[in-house]
């Protein structure tokens, strides 16, 4: 590859290469609403001002998403870092499958739809109800409903909506619900199909737990969607408006569950024997547990009452090794030869560490959507259990405990490469609470202050980067003017979604004998360039299949 013809490899350092992923901390110059810049971050500032650094793209086509209007996210970001090149990601794969008709010809779709027809059952859709394009997209849902009603002749369709307020505006639910009701009205008029919203609730309250952090969320989702148990309303709009009046300041992700009832007060859409169920999220982490609840025979997380006999499918295969779910609509990207896999082949000892909220990202997603290790002897995966409390109440989360274990790993001499994720920036950023977000950023900086001496002591190398932005942009901005959006009292409107900002990339190499420069031939550096760069810093030739490395090494005497 032309970009590598003049590269030399550095001398291998005695200590480990440590990659710090500051999850959800992008780079933005503007201070207003920038929780990271507003905080006291002396250690990051020192690294930024004194070490080789650049900015990386972490969104859009650079990481495999459909367009440059699409925000990055933790799943895609860790996929991109671990894979070392661009792969088409969930939303893009689903778009292609729907537009080509491949989804509707596939075994997964046919299994669910044919089961409904055979048993004269209803077709249920459950998933995140927005166009955030991080976990799902409402357009995918609408196209499937339309095809089911118009082409397949399904007569009864029920939708169970999980309100977002995280990847989109924090109180934007009605912006989706009201037009969607008009869409369903049109489908009913054109086809005679009985299409209705049946239940719902906030994504951080029901159904969408991840990493087995809180199975109670999934159990509550089961009671709401399947059993039709819960507070009843005549419409989703009524439910949302009522909860907003009763719980001042509540945002969409935290809205309690609701069940839609008919004029007799009976739920319009509990899931029954003979029904089909499609979970339409394409991202896996928050889809695995509800999929297990529908599919597993020996399931012990909670008692499934009732447990109807249904045909279940996910939008994608959420776990390729454990094959969850067994049936899915769209094939996932097949990511082979990831950084972790190829480094194992070279005998490189690796450690991955994070708290529960991001543990799957430094393992499963980093490894190309693959569970388990490539080599039991060479790899150590360490999970620090997360607290089950609202993140704004403890914005420091488990960063100190993660750092304790990280420092043990650095000083042990047992690892050549260590990857660590600090979840604070993303998880606290999603709350929309600026004060908590500032503390979250300062917490990560405190941890950097503990890591730097360990790198110096062991003569290792430190990379500081992120997977996407969030914390650096806590206020909504008008898309046309760029001005901060304010409420009637003049207060900035909180932003809870990810951003389109680049992320920092810093290298601290206290023991290095070479002068580090950034490769001018890498015109648009992105997360996919990190893997080849790590090979460089380990003194290894980067794989030709990877996007080129970011660095050039020169003798300091030149």
**Which residues are documented as binding site?**
23, 74, 135, 166-167, 203, 210, 283-286, 358, 426, 430, 467-468, 498
Cβ burial of 100 (10 Å; 0-12, 13-18, 19+) is: exposed
Q: Which among 67, 74, 100, 412 is annotated as catalytic?
A: 74
Torsion angles phi and psi, residue 65, rounded to 5: -85, 160
Instruction: Count how many residues are written for the chain.
Output: 558
Torsion angles phi and psi, residue 191, rounded to 5: -120, -20
On whether the CB atoms of residues 516 and 476 are closer than 8 A, the answer is no
Which helix (H) or strand (E) is 516 found in, with range?
Answer: strand 514-518
Binding residues for Mn(2+): 23, 74, 426, 430, 467-468, 498
Tokens of 312: 């279940």
Tokens of 530: 């990190």
Torsion angles phi and psi, residue 379, rounded to 5: -120, 140
Distance from C-alpha of 383 to C-alpha of 430, rounded to nearest angstrom: 22
Binding residues for substrate: 135, 166-167, 203, 210, 283-286, 358
DSSP track, 154-187: --EEEEEEEE-SSSS-TT-HHHHHHHHHHHHHHH
Coil, strand or helix at 55: strand
Note if 386 is an active site residue: no
In which residue are the tokens 């002749």 written? 153
Tokens of 478: 């008008």
Distance from C-alpha of 298 to C-alpha of 302, rounded to nearest angstrom: 11
User: Which of 86, 104, 80, 84 is CA-nearest to residue 94?
Assistant: 104
Distance from C-alpha of 139 to C-alpha of 72, rounded to nearest angstrom: 19
**Sign, CA torsion 345/346/348/353:** negative
> Facing residues of 492 across strands?
486
On whether the CB atoms of residues 433 and 31 are closer than 8 A, the answer is no
DSSP track, 411-457: HHT--SEEEEEE-HHHHHHTTT-HHHHHHHHHHHHHHHHHHHHHHHH
Residue 294 CB neighbour total at 10 angstroms = 23
Which residues does 45 contact at the CB level (< 8 Å), separation at least 6? none
Distance from C-alpha of 127 to C-alpha of 160, rounded to nearest angstrom: 7
Enumerate the active-site residues: 74
């Amino acid at each position: 590859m032309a970009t590598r013809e003049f590269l030399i490899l550095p001398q291998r350092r005695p200590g480990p290469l440590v990659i710090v992923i500051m999850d959800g901390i992008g780079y933005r110059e503007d201070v207003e609403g920038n929780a990271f810049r507003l905080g006291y971050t002396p250690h990051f500032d020192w690294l930024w001002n004194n070490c080789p650094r650049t900015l990386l793209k972490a969104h859009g086509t650079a990481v495999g998403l459909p367009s440059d209007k699409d925000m990055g996210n933790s799943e895609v970001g860790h996929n991109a870092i671990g894979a070392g090149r661009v792969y088409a990601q969930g939303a893009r794969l689903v778009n292609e499958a729907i537009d080509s008709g491949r989804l509707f010809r596939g075994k997964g779709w046919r299994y669910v739809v044919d089961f409904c027809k055979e048993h004269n059952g209803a077709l249920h859709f459950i998933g995140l109800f927005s166009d955030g394009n991080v976990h799902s997209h409402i357009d995918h849902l609408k196209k499937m409903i339309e095809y089911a009603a118009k082409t397949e002749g399904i007569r009864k369709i029920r939708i169970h909506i999980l309100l977002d307020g995280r990847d989109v505006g924090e109180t934007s639910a009605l912006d989706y619900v009201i037009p969607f009701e008009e869409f369903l009205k049109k489908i009913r008029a054109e086809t005679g199909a009985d299409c209705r919203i049946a239940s719902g609730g906030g994504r951080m309250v029901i159904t969408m737990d991840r990493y087995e952090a809180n199975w109670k969320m999934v159990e509550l989702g089961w009671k709401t969607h399947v059993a039709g148990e819960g507070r009843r309303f005549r419409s989703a709009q009524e439910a949302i408006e009522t909860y907003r009046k009763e719980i001042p300041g509540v945002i969409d992700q935290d809205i309690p569950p609701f069940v839609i009832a008919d004029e007799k007060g009976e739920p319009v859409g509990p899931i029954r024997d003979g029904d089909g169920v499609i979970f339409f999220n394409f991202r896996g982490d928050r889809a695995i547990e509800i999929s297990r609840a529908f599919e597993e025979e020996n399931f012990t997380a909670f008692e499934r009452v009732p447990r109807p006999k249904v045909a279940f499918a996910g939008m994608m295969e959420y776990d390729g090794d454990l094959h969850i779910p067994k049936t899915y609509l769209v094939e996932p990207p097949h990511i082979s030869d990831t950084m972790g896999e190829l480094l194992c082949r070279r005998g490189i000892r690796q450690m991955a560490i994070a708290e529960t909220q991001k543990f799957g990202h430094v393992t499963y997603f980093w490894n190309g959507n693959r569970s388990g290790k490539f080599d039991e002897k060479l790899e150590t995966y360490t999970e620090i259990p997360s607290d089950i409390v609202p993140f704004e109440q403890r914005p420091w989360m488990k960063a100190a405990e993660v750092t304790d274990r990280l420092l043990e790993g650095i000083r042990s001499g047992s690892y050549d490469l260590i990857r660590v994720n600090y979840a604070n920036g993303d998880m606290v950023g999603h709350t929309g609470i600026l004060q908590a977000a500032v503390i979250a950023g300062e917490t990560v900086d405190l941890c950097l202050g503990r890591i730097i001496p360990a790198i110096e002591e062991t003569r290792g190398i430190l990379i500081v980067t992120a997977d996407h932005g969030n914390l650096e942009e806590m206020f909504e901005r008008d898309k046309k003017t760029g001005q901060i959006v304010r409420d009637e009292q003049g207060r900035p409107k909180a932003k809870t979604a990810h951003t389109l900002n680049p992320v920092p990339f810093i290298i601290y190499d206290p023991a290095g004998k070479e002068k580090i420069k950034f490769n001018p031939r890498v015109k648009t550096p992105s997360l996919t360039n990190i893997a080849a760069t790590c090979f460089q810093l380990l003194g290894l030739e980067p794989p030709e299949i990877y996007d080129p490395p970011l660095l050039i090494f020169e003798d300091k005497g030149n």
